[in-house]
Amino acid sequence: MRKPELKLRLSLYQKPMEEDAYNSQSKESAESKQGSAEFKSELHSLAKFRHPNVVAILSYAEDGAERCLVYEFMPNGSVRDRLNRKNNTPALTWSQRHRIAADVARGMHYIQGAFSDKPLFHFDLKTDNVLLDAHFNAKVSDFGLFRAAQHLDEKGCICTQLVQGGAHQIVQGAAPYMCPEFFEEGRMTNKTAVHAFGMILLELLTAEKPSTKLKSKARKAVTNQAIAGILDSTLRPTEAEHQDMSEMGSLALDCLADESDERPFFGSILTLLDS
């Protein structure tokens, strides 16, 4: 058991670790709702993921109640960092932002269908958890907050206790991304992550941090056909790009619909973004 622990430490500390680059480690505390056996079973399945838009798990270690996952090195950090232009990095171009949106949709479409016998839910899809490789390809990360649904109810939902007890920190950190049915009933469906994706689209358009205020601003801009008024000031779109941005704004609001049945599936989203 000592060798795997040594390999884990080498993978964490021997690679170049810039402040805003991610050779990620995700820790699960003793407060985790998943038992050790269930966690290991799901990790075994997740470790098989090999998709261009899903961060690869390289290693795993468990020390008592503490668990640690190690992901592949992502030198351009998170999408949120790049939108913030952390460390004076250049602003993302429209082409890069559009590709990021398509990459996330592609990764989530793959993830949701990865298990043939049960759907997989991501509890914390947000720009902090979308990482960029050396070529600015986007990859979905943070597997510590994935959960495979063992049993769905008649509406295709999974009940979660994330809104209860000691898990309030997760909800607070991701509150702008969470859909109404999660807050009201503690239920998640394959449309829950679509709601979060809608907020990610608005962030890509505006570079603003996620909020209900941003959603309201976007709805007003799209309704008035005035998307230019909320765009990131670093963007200088051509006429064709402006049309793409308007369409992405409309798609974002579709994804942010209060009723889950009114949100598109990731497959449909991907078709629109790739067209």
- Which tokens go with 226? 């005035």
Distance, in Å, from the CA atom of 72 to the CA atom of 95, rounded to the nearest integer, reads 24
Distance, in Å, from the CA atom of 2 to the CA atom of 231, rounded to the nearest integer, reads 52
Identify the active-site residue in 20, 124, 128, 274: 124
CA 51 from centroid of its chain's CA atoms: 15
Distance, in Å, from the CA atom of 60 to the CA atom of 70, rounded to the nearest integer, reads 6
Distance, in Å, from the CA atom of 275 to the CA atom of 153, rounded to the nearest integer, reads 35
- Following DSSP, what letter does each residue of 60-81 receive, concatenated? EEEETTEEEEEEEEETT-BHHH
For this structure, is 63 an active site residue? no
Distance, in Å, from the CA atom of 23 to the CA atom of 120, rounded to the nearest integer, reads 24
Residue partners of 148: CB distance under 8 A and separation at least 6: 42, 45, 115, 118, 119, 120, 121
Round to the nearest angstrom and report the end-to-end CA distance of the chain: 50
Distance, in Å, from the CA atom of 213 to the CA atom of 229, rounded to the nearest integer, reads 15
Distance, in Å, from the CA atom of 209 to the CA atom of 203, rounded to the nearest integer, reads 6
Query: Residue type at 100?
Result: I
The answer to whether 107 touches 79, Cβ cutoff 8 Å, is no
The residues that are catalytic are 124
